[in-house]
């Protein structure tokens, strides 16, 4: 990423991070984690090159050793999850240069003392900026010798399945209630030769799709690098031949190529409740489904997605419903 992108609006926390890092940005190779606006700002401030990772974007670099190898300047928008922060801090300490400086900031309402404690596990020196516009920056230096972050595995006995998790991936090694509601309806699934778990998270639905039809081609897809790493761990732990891909929606999938898509869509973007993500995923599914193929969706009942699913995909039938969750099947028309 060597040229200026269309500038994305930086908020007060991003601006404070850039101001605190200003003295080291000119001519530097910079790694940015968590904010495209920080990447734009670093380039505008004179950085020579910027490598960007945003977890829910399938179009940025993966968060791995290669991203952070020998990095000397890291700009980090602090994640809300302490597990995610610990994962990131360990990666930086394990793979960045010994003189790396990490500028990690956020709005004060999202910051906790626990973040200081997590960074202190991976770095010997931690400085704290003055607050400005309800934002603050933690500045970490002198990485400690520390273990590379390892994925976690837990055996879910009610599923007979190992679940893998990396960092602060949604639901961790547990089973969220939306996924449980979808699994309870799987006995009514149609036959399929190809299936996608869209927004797969840790890959539980994809794993069950593969176990039910071992000869089927099953794909687990998510825009989140942490989810992709977690689903990969789940498949390895259970010795399942499932393709795991990082993708923005279903951009990499061909039109009219799949029999079945299952979806437990997110309805939060950061701290905001929104249906926009789900509506985009419905449209992606409609494009990728073959005529007669089905999109199975589990959603919070109060969101009333049925009309939107009918418009985007086709006739939508209710499979199950509780006060909390609804599962529907939408059939793609010719």
195 versus 168: the higher-pLDDT residue is 195
Instruction: Please tell me whether residues 157 and 137 are part of one structural domain.
Output: no
Instruction: Please tell me whether residues 101 and 241 are part of one structural domain.
Output: no
74 versus 323: the higher-pLDDT residue is 74
Beta-carbon contacts of residue 224 (< 8 Å; ≥ 6 apart): 55, 56, 169, 201, 246
Instruction: Please tell me whether residues 93 and 165 are part of one structural domain.
Output: no
| Domain assignment present for 200 | yes
Residue numbers of the domain that contains 36: 12-143
User: What's the mean per-residue pLDDT of the chain?
Assistant: 92
The residue behind tokens 């009918």 is: 310
Contacts 24+ apart (CB under 8 A), 106-115: 106/13, 106/77, 106/78, 106/135, 106/136, 107/11, 107/12, 107/13, 107/134, 107/135, 108/134, 108/135, 108/136, 109/134, 110/78, 110/80, 110/271, 111/78, 111/136, 112/82, 114/82, 115/78, 115/82, 115/85
Using 50, 70 and 90 to split pLDDT, how confident is the model at 104? very high
Instruction: Please tell me whether residues 36 and 94 are part of one structural domain.
Output: yes
Instruction: Please tell me whether residues 214 and 103 are part of one structural domain.
Output: no
Residue 272: strand pairing partners:
269
Instruction: Please tell me whether residues 130 and 183 are part of one structural domain.
Output: no
Instruction: Please tell me whether residues 136 and 159 are part of one structural domain.
Output: no
* The model's pTM: 0.79
pLDDT digits (tens, 9 = 90+) for 108-124: 999 999 999 999 999 99
| End position of a domain, from candidates 79, 113, 143 | 143
Question: Which of 19-23, 48-52, 175-179, 193-197 has the lowest average pLDDT?
Answer: 175-179
pLDDT digits (tens, 9 = 90+) for 217-234: 999 999 988 899 999 999
Q: How many domains is the chain built from? A: 2
CATH number at residue 226: 3.40.50.150
| Domain assignment present for 241 | yes
pLDDT of residue 3: 36
pLDDT digits (tens, 9 = 90+) for 57-73: 777 888 889 999 999 99
pLDDT digits (tens, 9 = 90+) for 257-286: 999 999 998 764 444 445 788 999 999 999
| End position of a domain, from candidates 125, 143, 161 | 143
pLDDT of residue 267: 60
Instruction: Please tell me whether residues 167 and 195 are part of one structural domain.
Output: yes
CA–CA distance, 150 with 165 (Å, rounded to integer) = 9
pLDDT of residue 274: 53
Burial 52-73 (b: 16+ CB within 10 A, else e): bbbbbebebbebeeebbeebeb
pLDDT digits (tens, 9 = 90+) for 20-59: 999 999 999 999 999 999 999 999 999 999 999 998 777 7
User: Is 321 a residue whose pLDDT tops 80?
Assistant: yes
């Amino acid at each position: 990423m060597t040229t200026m992108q269309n500038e994305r609006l930086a908020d007060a926390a991003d601006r404070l991070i850039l101001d605190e890092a200003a003295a080291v940005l000119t001519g530097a190779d910079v790694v940015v984690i968590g904010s495209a606006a920080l990447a734009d700002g670093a380039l505008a401030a004179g950085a020579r090159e910027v490598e960007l990772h945003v977890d829910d974007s399938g179009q940025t670099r993966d968060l791995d050793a290669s991203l952070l190898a020998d990095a000397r300047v890291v700009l980090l928008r602090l994640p809300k999850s302490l597990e995610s922060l610990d994962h990131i801090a360990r990666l930086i300490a394990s793979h960045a240069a010994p003189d790396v400086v990490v500028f990690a900031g956020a709005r004060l309402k999202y910051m906790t003392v626990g973040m200081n404690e997590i960074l202190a596990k991976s770095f010997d020196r931690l400085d704290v900026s003055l607050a400005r516009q309800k934002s603050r920056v933690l500045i970490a230096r002198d990485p400690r010798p520390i273990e590379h972050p390892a994925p976690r595995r837990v055996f879910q006995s009610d599923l007979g399945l190992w679940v893998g998790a990396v960092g602060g991936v949604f639901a961790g090694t547990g089973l969220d209630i939306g996924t449980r509601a979808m699994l309870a309806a799987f006995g009514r699934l149609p036959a399929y030769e190809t299936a996608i778990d869209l927004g797969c998270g840790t890959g539980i639905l994809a794993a069950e799709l593969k176990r039910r039809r071992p000869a089927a081609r099953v794909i687990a897809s998510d825009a989140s690098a942490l989810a992709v790493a977690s689903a990969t761990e789940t498949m390895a732990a259970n010795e399942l031949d499932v393709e795991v891909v990082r993708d923005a929606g279903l951009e990499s999938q061909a039109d009219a190529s799949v029999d079945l898509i299952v979806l437990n869509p997110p309805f939060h973007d950061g701290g905001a409740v929104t249906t926009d993500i789900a509506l985009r995923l419905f449209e992606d599914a409609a494009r990728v489904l073959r005529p007669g193929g089905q999109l199975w969706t589990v959603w919070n009942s109060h969101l009333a997605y049925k009309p939107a699913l009918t418009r985007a995909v086709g006739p939508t039938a209710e499979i199950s419903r509780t006060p909390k969750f609804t599962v529907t099947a939408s059939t793609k028309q010719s």
